């Protein structure tokens, strides 16, 4: 099963472009709670076919970092990275909030879900404190995944100068949400261009054990090193609504081998992999299949949501038939 959301994954060795957005898919919100409400009200008159950017009157300009030949191209292997695995909200939220509290220049966040619960309020408080210190803060949430944020919740951030944006904020039609397919499912946090977080956790209490039996099991990576710049470029491309060229010509393939084993102390080799609705629709799927095909001993997949393509199922079956131990760790109680 495939949806059309921009998504990211990491390819990791041990030891192309983000979605080109048509104008109008990202709405920016700045100013008071009244201004936020005015933006929300203005959305009711926006047609899907309109090409103007929905925004408030006092929006700051787009991110200054536009794509050029001097920036790295995500999708290529980089060496010298340090990667820390974070399990569930207990580890992830603590690491993210600590990074934001120590930020000095910039915080960029992309998330599918931001709820105004205990986790959402903790994040908002940390972002407000950062903005009050003069840190540039930009947060983009999905219009479908985070539809019920109140003007007061958002306005507390925008009043401090935080750039708050919705991805595809189209209103409901006859009570139904019509924009369920082209979604922003990425979960990225980049702090001072020095460290980044990539994974599967939204900002919701559902990722904490205290939520009970329905709590979601998921993981993220905290990244230090050259790969952070790749994540930053990807995030800036979204903010600028600027497509990136493919990372490499199509005839060279998209699942190239990771670099050879590195010497101790050289850090990990890793690359950022994402999908979009254009040149990279199958990139994550291709890399998964390639890794499963090369497996000789174990394949372990841990995911709160498991919607494999038939090609991945086929590769898992083939791996099991050749003696590979295939383990799936899935959500006990799912909501899909």
Where b means 16+ CB within 10 Å and e means fewer, 137-161 reads bbbbbbbbbbeebebebbbbbbbeb
Beta-strand relationship, 163-167 and 136-142: parallel
pTM greater than 0.95 (yes/no): no
Residue range 63-85, pLDDT digits in tens: 445 555 555 666 788 889 999 99
Q: 112, 196, 190, 119: which is closest to 153 by C-alpha?
A: 119
Report if residue 142 sits inside a domain.
yes
What is the percent of the chain where pLDDT is above 90? 45
299 and 244 housed in the same domain: no
139 and 166 housed in the same domain: yes
161 and 147 housed in the same domain: yes
Structural domain count, the chain: 2
Report if residue 28 sits inside a domain.
yes
223 and 316 housed in the same domain: no
Average pLDDT score over the chain: 77
CATH number (domain holding residue 112): 3.30.870.10
Q: Write down the pLDDT at residue 238.
A: 81
Report if residue 186 sits inside a domain.
yes
Q: What CA–CA distance (Å, rounded) separates 126 from 120?
A: 10
199 and 329 housed in the same domain: no
224 and 336 housed in the same domain: no
167 and 24 housed in the same domain: yes
Report if residue 2 sits inside a domain.
no
Using DSSP, state whether 222 is helix, strand or coil. strand
172 and 302 housed in the same domain: no
Terminal-to-terminal C-alpha distance of the chain: 12
Domain residues for 44?
7-253+261-277
Residue range 232-280, pLDDT digits in tens: 988 888 887 766 556 554 445 555 566 666 666 678 889 998 877 667 7
218 and 336 housed in the same domain: no
69 and 154 housed in the same domain: yes
Report if residue 26 sits inside a domain.
yes
Report if residue 220 sits inside a domain.
yes
159 and 12 housed in the same domain: yes
């Amino acid at each position: 099963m495939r949806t059309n959301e921009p998504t990211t994954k990491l390819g990791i060795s041990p030891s192309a472009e983000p979605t080109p957005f048509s104008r109008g898919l990202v709405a920016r919100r700045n100013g008071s709670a009244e201004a936020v409400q005015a933006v929300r009200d203005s959305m009711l008159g926006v047609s899907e076919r309109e090409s103007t950017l929905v925004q408030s009157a006092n929006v700051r300009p787009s991110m200054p970092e536009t794509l050029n030949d001097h920036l790295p191209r995500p999708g290529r292997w980089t060496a010298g990275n340090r990667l820390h695995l974070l399990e569930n909200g207990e580890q992830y939220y603590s690491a993210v909030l600590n990074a934001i509290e120590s930020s000095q220049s910039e915080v960029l966040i992309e998330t599918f879900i931001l709820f105004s619960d205990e986790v959402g309020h903790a994040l908002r408080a940390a972002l407000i404190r950062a903005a009050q210190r003069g840190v540039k803060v930009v947060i983009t949430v999905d219009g479908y995944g985070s539809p019920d944020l109140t003007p007061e919740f958002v306005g507390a951030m925008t009043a401090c100068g935080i750039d708050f944006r919705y991805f595809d904020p189209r209103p409901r039609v006859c009570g139904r949400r019509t924009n369920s397919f082209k979604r922003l499912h990425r979960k990225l946090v980049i702090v001072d261009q020095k460290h980044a977080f990539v994974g599967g956790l939204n900002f919701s209490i559902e990722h904490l054990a205290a939520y009970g039996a329905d709590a979601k099991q998921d993981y993220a990576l905290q990244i230090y090193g050259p790969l952070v710049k790749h994540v930053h470029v990807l995030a800036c491309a979204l903010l600028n609504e600027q497509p990136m060229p493919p990372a490499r010509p199509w005839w060279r393939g998209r699942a190239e081998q990771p670099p050879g084993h590195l010497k101790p102390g050289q850090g990990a080799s890793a690359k950022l992999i994402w999908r979009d609705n254009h040149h990279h629709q199958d990139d994550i799927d291709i890399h998964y299949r390639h890794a499963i095909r090369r497996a000789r001993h174990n394949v372990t997949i841990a995911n709160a949501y498991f919607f494999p393509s038939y090609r991945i199922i086929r590769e898992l079956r083939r791996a099991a038939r050749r003696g590979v131990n295939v383990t799936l760790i899935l959500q006990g109680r799912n909501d899909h």
